[in-house]
Amino acid sequence: MADTATTAGRGNVDGLRVETVADGHVLRVALHGECDFSTVSELDQALRGLDLGGSRAVHLDLTHLGFADVATIRRLAAFAGHAKRDGQDVTTCGAHPTVRKVAGLLQVHHELGLA
């Protein structure tokens, strides 16, 4: 059985929501809505609150992330790099082509586990 925790943004339709599901040794982190410089602190708070201790793998799911600015992608890359240094395998799925392009420009494909 999976454990689920949801962190909601400010409650508006386009606000950021971070949903986590721990299933065995895999932690899935799904982002919903939009994230930019005005909400990246909420993302940071949600990511800092995650317990990665029992996870071997972290899957970032960006399928439902409608918008992400450079600050968001940098924050996700920092989180992923931290998880990798702690021994977790990190992969990202569902990234919009624009997110992939910006990740490439920032040279954070490897940290995010983007192919």
Quick one: pLDDT band at residue 98, thresholds 50, 70, 90?
very high
Residue 15 is predicted with a pLDDT of: 84
Quick one: pLDDT band at residue 78, thresholds 50, 70, 90?
very high
Total residue length of the chain = 115
pTM, two decimals, is 0.87
Over the chain, what is the mean pLDDT?
88
Residue 115 is predicted with a pLDDT of: 64
Please give the average per-residue pLDDT across 97-107, as a whole number.
94
pLDDT in tens, 8-64: 454 445 689 999 999 889 999 999 999 999 999 999 999 999 988 889 999 999 999
Reading the block at residue 62, the tokens are 């960006």
Residue 3 is predicted with a pLDDT of: 52
Quick one: pLDDT band at residue 111, thresholds 50, 70, 90?
very high
Please give the average per-residue pLDDT across 74-87, as a whole number.
95
Q: What is the DSSP string of the chain?
A: --EEEEEE-SSSTTS-EEEEEEETTEEEEEEEEEE-TTTHHHHHHHHHT---TT-SEEEEEEEEEEEE-HHHHHHHHHHHHHHHHTT-EEEEES--HHHHHHHHHHT-HHHHT--
Q: Which fold has domain 3-112?
A: Transcription Regulator spoIIAA (3.30.750)
Query: Which position has the token pair 């420009």?
Result: 105
Residue type, 5: A
